[in-house]
Amino acid sequence: MCGVAGIINLREGVPPSRNELEGMIHAVHHRGPDGYGFFYHDKLGLAHARLSIIDLVGGDQPIHNEDQSVQVVFNGEIFNYLELRVQLEKQGHRFYTHSDTEVIVHLYEQYGLEFVDHLNGQFAIALWDNHKQKLVLARDRAGIRPLFYVETGGRLYFASEVKSLFSHPAIPRKIDLGALQEVFTFWTTLPPHSLFESVRILPPGHLMVVEQGQTATSRYWDWRFPSDQIDNDKSVADWTEELKALMIDSVRLQLRSDVPVGAYLSGGLDSSVLTSLIKNFTDTPLRTFSIGFEDEEFDESGFQRDLVDYLDTKHTHVLCKRTDIGAAFPQVIRHTESAIVRTAPTPLMLLSGAVREAGYKVVLTGEGADEVFGGYDIFKEAKVRRFWSRAPQSQWRPMILQRLYPYLKHSPTAGGAFTQHFFQQGMEHLNKAYFAHIPRWATTQRILQFFSEEARAAIEKPVDFAAIERILPAEIDQWKPLNRDQYIEAHTLLSGYLLSSQGDRVAMANSIEGRFPFLDHRVIAFAARLPCRYKIMGLNEKYMLKQTMQGLIPESIRNRSKQPYRAPDSQSFFVDGKPLEYVEYLFSEERINKAGYYNPKTVALLMKKCAKGKALGFADNMAFVGILSSMLVDEMFIEKNRVEPYNQREASGPDAFAGVR
């Protein structure tokens, strides 16, 4: 895994300089601590920071073709590079490295822009075609690896992270209040928005071509579902046999590496599937890592121990305390470069640090299985709500909701008038593609009540749920309801938050590459064909995946209900009712007023409520974390223009936390 950066002049001007490129790529040293590479042209500059995974000796980038007319820097892995290399050599292409990167330049020579269709991998690519004077930027199908860009002053700047762009003095810095509203609704900005006004995101599954001073963006791949369910007569045994073979091959490909590969072990079904497949169907030594909590509500250590014993794996367990979350949170925001509404990325950053300390650079993780195979409670919740809508006066139909969220201390399914009110939200939008998500988004949007009057006045257009429609395909209304729900989840929570703030960014903070076998595009395509009843059988989520794993994982885990990974939120930032020093500073009336985003009086009331431990529901906790994270973004990237990580050992006053002040 690596970092990329570059500049291209869209009109005549001074060529990009070494100093400019060095400033950009050094800002993401954590993504590639093993070396740097550069390429210069009279109007283009490319830079690369390398994390050596494959071809440790000969894989330095940029990589080029035979006559050096095509140059590429890329962040990611091409898992099927060995098969592609054999194919390309038969077609007459000559290789000078053993790197997976080199197949990219030869595929481009062979197929032009359709080269991306041949890649099985996770990637952000910058390719320069000198003959055609054309730059091609490409991002992987699921959005695993990030790619940001800014067009300003007759130039296009691009990089793996925003901090690379902000290292250049030409890039303006300002939080986009409309984008902040999107985070406080959908948990993420909607592409191409980032949290910053000047910065854009290349969406997953997209290409950008820069030629003759013009940029053009197009989609080359997307999650697609059949309008009519097919293969209804195919037996469960046939489906499971096909899925098992596909998952084994996906895991096999993603274990390819010239360095040892580990795996995260959460105690849930998804990571259990991957570790079991590694153990039973590959020769890779099984090395696992897990996170646990002192709070029983969040801790899954017992299930993790069951699987460690079952698989007899060498294992590292990291215990995360609330104080650990509070101390590390500023560093997390330095890497997420965005506001977030949960603290969950923080323990995962600490876990990736343990992976690095153990001498590993690569881990497999089960992210994506819930979106692909229908694992989330939101899918079951929507199924019940649709059932309820057919008899809205029924007293017993909404009672089925009580079977959901058993892991929550303060569940919205506890019963009574509140449950009825909460889950009836959006019933009038039953036929909207985003029907399933309305209760969640309505809860998150309560953060917007903390906006200041000035911020409200500055927002050109308030964000509503219908804003999601601009990223939805025209044919989505023809799909089954569950498939609509999956598509929206994949294009909001998954790509915008789980694979970003909770995935790539906190792993790469410690120079760790995460790999995601469930997001192999062949697996996604298989699951798209799978009848909905085989994803959620009654209220049994991920039914087909569970059937496939019979005899391969403990029954206690195979039959376990989904418990999503969570971490303590607002309580992590107080000790004996007193806020941590940087929290007190950022929530002070003076600092809140200076930023201008929030009303200091309502923020102060929220602070007091959290300090007393009375923030019990999702809305208050998300508001606290959302406000704190956005204030950290403002402090690091806007106010102080500094991105050093917070160092707790140096903290002795408001001016002492590096990266916050």
Active-site positions read 2
User: What DSSP string describes 300-339?
Assistant: -HHHHHHHHHHHT-EEEEEEE-HHHHHHHHHHHHHHH-S-
Contact 150, 165 (CB under 8 A): yes
User: Is residue 138 a contact partner of residue 129, using CB atoms and an 8 Å limit?
Assistant: no
3-state class (DSSP) for residue 508 = helix
Residue 596 phi, psi dihedral angles, 5° rounding: 85, 0
The three-state secondary structure class of 601 is helix
Answer positive or negative: Cα dihedral of 256, 259, 265, 266. Answer: negative
Beta bridge partners of 293: 320
Q: How many CA atoms lie within 13 A of 540 on its CB side?
A: 12
Look at residue 2 and give its three-state secondary structure.
Answer: strand
The C-alpha atoms of residue 216 and residue 207 are separated, in whole angstroms, by 8
Q: Identify the H or E element spanning 186.
A: helix 177-186
- Peptide linkage before 192 cis (omega within 30 of 0): yes
Phi-psi region of 641 (alpha: psi -120 to 50; beta: other; left: phi over 0): left
Q: How far apart are CA 404 and CA 382, in angstroms?
A: 11
DSSP string, 564-592: ------GGGGEETTEE-HHHHHHTSHHHH
Look up residue 117 and give its amino acid: D
Question: Measured between alpha carbons, how far is 594 from 587 in angstroms, rounded to an integer?
Answer: 11
Q: Compute the residue count for the chain.
A: 661
**Rg from Cα positions in the chain:** 24
Report the candidate in 106, 566, 594, 69 with the shortest Cα–Cα distance to residue 325. Answer: 566
CA distances from 235 to 228, 240, 328, 389, 531 (A): 18, 9, 49, 31, 11
Pairing of strands 261-264, 362-364: parallel
| Helix, strand, coil percentages for the chain (3-state, nearest 5) | 45, 15, 40
